[in-house]
């Protein structure tokens, strides 16, 4: 009887699992098959169809879900999915053959307009929902939300571009009035970009756009320019202009131009057949984009540091850490007191970032101070521990220079990063690899000091084998962290070599 119950349970479990997989619903998307495909396509103005394997999963499917979710607010767009089986009855394989869909290319996106049987194929990155949405916007003329986009202001920009010079002033005033009705800070910041850009066009005329595009064309000749990143993407459709903001570089608000520098890199990647070379271009593209985002954040904050910023609570914590570090080294020959003072300083390192986010007191100065205090305290300790300790801190300083000047983030891994770097940085270091790396970075020098002064034995009664095991684990973590450091240094050098042309050529 028990065996029968167990067998029944297993059958029920696997049946439920099969039904769960087979019946998974993507919110905002419909499932199509050969029987209803033409009926659905012919009755909708715009249909985005994803041709894919049965039971799709993974990163590409997650991006499809984002596109489907974004379509909920657009009544003229239908997002659909066709799952093609290559076994059994081979469901929907006739649709795959009809539209030239190959299994090795899954997922394949095709856009059907006005019920026509000749779709437009999407050839971009299927792991990027924003690029898929931009494709739909460009080809259909419909609006879909993109990062930092505001539909109301997109429409105002479209109206602005078509209006006469006399009428443009009124459109700017409408935009300013609309700005006052916004409540979210992020929406206000985006709206300000729209308004400032329209004012610049109003001031200098439409020829300003063309002159900027001509200026950045120099990139195709391999010449280096600066400050050329755009704040608007302009899509030309059969019916209208659609302006969608993607705030990339807040230092250059005045141009409505394509991001030629990034497009140039994408073109270079497409032309490269060497995987290693292509990976290098992806890294360059990543750091350029991060540098733009870093500049955007910088310019949103106050241009002058001021007394208020200096007195932010997280910055005060930074000053306190400096005092604790200096005090610790005053008592360097008194191990118990040194460990307490230095240990408190290390613990406060985790508090300043939390406080900055909680109190909304983030600042460029605070971010810089946090790293400088870390390097200051660890540098003193490493140099006091070993005659070659300066080599460790030298690597940390070089890494700081490479990441800080590019605005690179240690918390946002990209798909082209090495496997180990991604594992360390995933979820803001909230992984086993990340924990090991951070522990090795911060705790290893203090652990070595405690071992050399016998504090682990006298303060914590820790056996020698546990001390050795802890040292081995922390050393492994520091090596992992060093791998990430060398990755950033190498990537930065690659950028300098690719774009380090003589400034006289600019």
Q: How far apart are CA 101 and CA 81, in angstroms?
A: 13
pLDDT at 375 over 70: yes
CA nearest neighbour of 258 among 267, 413, 409: 267
pLDDT at 339 over 80: yes
CA nearest neighbour of 415 among 7, 171, 128: 128
Instruction: Give the ranges where 128-184 is alpha helix by DSSP (H).
Output: 129-140, 151-162, 165-180
- 87 DSSP assignment: S
Bridge partners of 108, per DSSP, are 51
Q: How far apart are CA 241 and CA 243, in angstroms?
A: 6
pLDDT range class, residue 79, cuts 50, 70, 90 = very high
* 197 within 8 A of 252, measured Cβ to Cβ: no
Q: How far apart are CA 456 and CA 449, in angstroms?
A: 9
Which range, of 42-56, 129-143, 228-242, 294-308, averages the lowest pLDDT? Answer: 228-242
Q: How far apart are CA 178 and CA 190, in angstroms?
A: 12
Please count the CA atoms within 13 angstroms of the CA of 274 that sit on its side-chain side.
5
Q: Quick one: 382 exposed, middle or buried, by C-beta within 10 A (0-12, 13-18, 19+)? A: buried
Q: Which residue has the higher pLDDT, 277 or 108?
A: 108
pLDDT score for 263? 47
Which range, of 345-354, 398-407, 432-441, averages the lowest pLDDT? Answer: 398-407
CA nearest neighbour of 298 among 247, 355, 373: 247
CA nearest neighbour of 78 among 47, 33, 37: 47
* 238 within 8 A of 141, measured Cβ to Cβ: yes
pTM: 0.44
Listed as own residue / partner, the contacts of 133-136 with beta carbons closer than 8 Å and 24 or more positions apart are 133/67, 133/70, 134/233, 134/235, 134/244, 135/109, 135/111, 136/46, 136/48, 136/67, 136/77, 136/111
Q: Where are the beta strands (DSSP E) in 256-352?
A: none
pLDDT 10s digits, 93-115 = 999 999 999 988 999 999 999 88
The three-class DSSP label of residue 139 is helix
Domains in the chain: ranges and CATH: 29-140 (3.40.30.10), 151-243 (1.20.1150.12), 310-495 (1.20.120)
Q: How far apart are CA 106 and CA 52, in angstroms?
A: 5
> Are β-strands 29-31 and 77-84 bridged in parallel, bridged antiparallel, or unpaired?
parallel
The torsion angles phi and psi of 126, rounded to 5 degrees, stand at -80, -5
pLDDT 10s digits, 160-213 = 877 887 788 888 888 889 888 888 877 788 788 778 878 877 777 766 666 655
């Amino acid at each position: 009887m028990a065996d029968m119950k167990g067998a029944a349970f297993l059958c029920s479990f696997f049946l439920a699992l099969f039904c769960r997989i087979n019946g998974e619903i993507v919110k905002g998307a419909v499932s199509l098959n050969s029987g209803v495909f033409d009926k659905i396509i012919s009755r909708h103005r715009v249909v985005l169809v994803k041709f894919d394997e049965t039971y799709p999963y993974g990163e590409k499917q997650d991006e499809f879900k984002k596109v489907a979710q974004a379509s909920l607010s657009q009544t003229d767009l239908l997002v659909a999915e066709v799952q093609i089986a290559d076994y059994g009855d081979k469901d929907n394989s006739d649709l795959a053959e009809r539209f030239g869909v190959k299994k090795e290319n899954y997922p394949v996106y095709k856009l059907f307009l006005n019920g026509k049987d000749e779709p437009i194929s999407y050839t971009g990155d299927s792991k990027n929902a924003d690029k898929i949405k931009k494709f739909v916007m460009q080809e259909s003329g419909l609006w879909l939300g993109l990062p930092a986009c505001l539909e109301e202001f997109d429409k105002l920009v479209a109206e602005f571009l078509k209006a006469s010079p006399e009428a443009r002033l009124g459109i700017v005033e409408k935009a300013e009035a609309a700005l006052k009705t916004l409540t979210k800070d992020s929406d206000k910041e985006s709206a300000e970009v729209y308004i400032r850009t329209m004012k610049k066009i109003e001031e200098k005329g439409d020829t300003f756009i063309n002159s900027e595009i001509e200026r950045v064309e120099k990139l195709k000749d391999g010449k280096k320019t600066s400050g050329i990143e755009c704040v608007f993407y302009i899509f030309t459709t059969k019916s209208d202009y659609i302006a969608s903001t993607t705030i990339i570089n807040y230092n250059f608000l005045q141009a409505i131009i394509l991001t030629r520098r990034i497009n140039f890199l994408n073109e270079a990647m497409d032309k490269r057949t060497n995987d290693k070379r292509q990976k290098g271009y992806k890294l360059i593209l990543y750091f350029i984009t991060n540098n733009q985002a870093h500049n955007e954040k910088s310019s949103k904050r106050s241009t002058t540091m001021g007394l208020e910023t200096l007195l932010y609570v997280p910055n005060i914590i930074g000053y306190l850490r400096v005092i604790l570090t200096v005090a610790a080294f005053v008592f360097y020959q008194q191990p118990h007191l040194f460990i307490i003072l230095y240990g408190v300083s290390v613990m406060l390192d985790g508090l300043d970032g939390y406080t900055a986010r909680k109190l909304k007191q983030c600042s460029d100065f605070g971010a810089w101070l946090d790293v400088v205090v870390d390097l200051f305290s660890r540098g003193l300790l490493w140099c006091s521990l070993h005659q070659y300790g300066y080599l460790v801190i030298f690597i940390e300083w070089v890494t700081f220079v490479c990441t800080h000047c590019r605005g690179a983030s240690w918390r946002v891994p990209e798909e082209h990063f090495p496997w180990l770097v991604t594992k360390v940085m995933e979820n803001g270091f909230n992984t086993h690899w990340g924990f090991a790396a951070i522990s090795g970075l911060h705790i290893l020098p203090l652990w070595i000091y405690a071992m050399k002064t016998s504090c682990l034995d006298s303060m914590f009664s820790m056996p020698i084998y546990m001390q050795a095991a802890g040292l081995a684990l922390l050393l492994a973590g520091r090596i992992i962290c060093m791998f990430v450091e060398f990755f950033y240094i190498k990537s930065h050098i690659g950028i300098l070599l690719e774009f380090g042309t003589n400034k006289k050529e600019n």
